[in-house]
Amino acid sequence: MEKTYKVFVYGTLREHEFNHHFLNGAVCLARQCWTHGILFDTGLGYPAMITDKVNVIYGELYEVNEIILKKLDWLEGYEAEGIDNEYERITQTIFTDHHSEQAIVYSYLHKKVENLSMINGGDWKRHLYTNKSKLLYFAYGSCMDNERFKLGKVDHLFKNIVGCGLATNFSLAYTVHFQDGSRADMIEADDIVEGKVYEINQEALHYLYEREGVMANIYRPAFINVEINGVLHKNVLTFLVMNKKEEVAPPEHYSNEILRGAKGFVSSGYYRKLEKKLLTLK
């Protein structure tokens, strides 16, 4: 039986990045996962991580065979333990939406990052894509509701609706708790979440950071695949809950916002699914 290894990748090996082809033939186990560490920009077009007990970095988890692992070792400049490698090969705990497990991670020595800039949020894709002048943004919760934008006097920032998006390999959940109830989230699953895709600018992004509590570590910006009218769009912005808890019911006003924003826009089947889930949680 062929020996396999679990590997966590956080930079240019991630999906749609320029070294992802090194993972051809690997099995993707999770695309929204994290481990403890701090991420730095080397200034050479790729990041480096160091170990840490508090901070987290985001990436993807793969199962690879020995041939692929040797290719990754070559790419990361790893030869063997006890040698002055470019990256060291360590094992540590990786956390997914459903469980945790041990995997290989390629890390830098702490002394190598002394003059490097830390990457905000520990996410290479966030570092690459959130500074663009225009972004596609996938809304699946109350941000589908234009009435909320009007109340906030920001509806002019969300006029450019690209279409109904399908986020595959996700399911809708209500995993973040507030005093009045929960709010929406997406977790990795064999399912599809429908939502509204906007083209937004930096002003709209700033508003979303405030609304989603990014600086308070409630939601984090993430980049996912979204299909619109049969066309796959890569690295579309959305927001995912950072510290997921057991599902509880959202407040009525929030449920109404989701249903109001979704009605007549998402498919009728998905709309019924939204209604059923909200009723089930009550």
Which residues are tagged catalytic?
212
276 — phi, psi (to 5°)?
-60, -45
- The CA distance from 48 to 42, in Å, is 7
CB 94 within 8 A of CB 103: yes
110 — phi, psi (to 5°)?
-55, -35
- The CA distance from 22 to 26, in Å, is 9
Q: Which long-range contacts (CB under 8 A, 24 or more apart) does 187-190 make?
A: 187/32, 187/97, 187/98, 187/244, 188/30, 188/31, 188/32, 188/96, 188/97, 188/98, 189/97
- The CA distance from 130 to 147, in Å, is 26
Short-list 13, 36, 281, CA closest to 172? 281
> What is the four-CA torsion angle of 25, 17, 212, 133, rounded to 10 degrees?
-150
Neighbours of 214 (CB within 10 A): 19
Exposure of 142 in the CB half-sphere (CA atoms within 13 A): 21
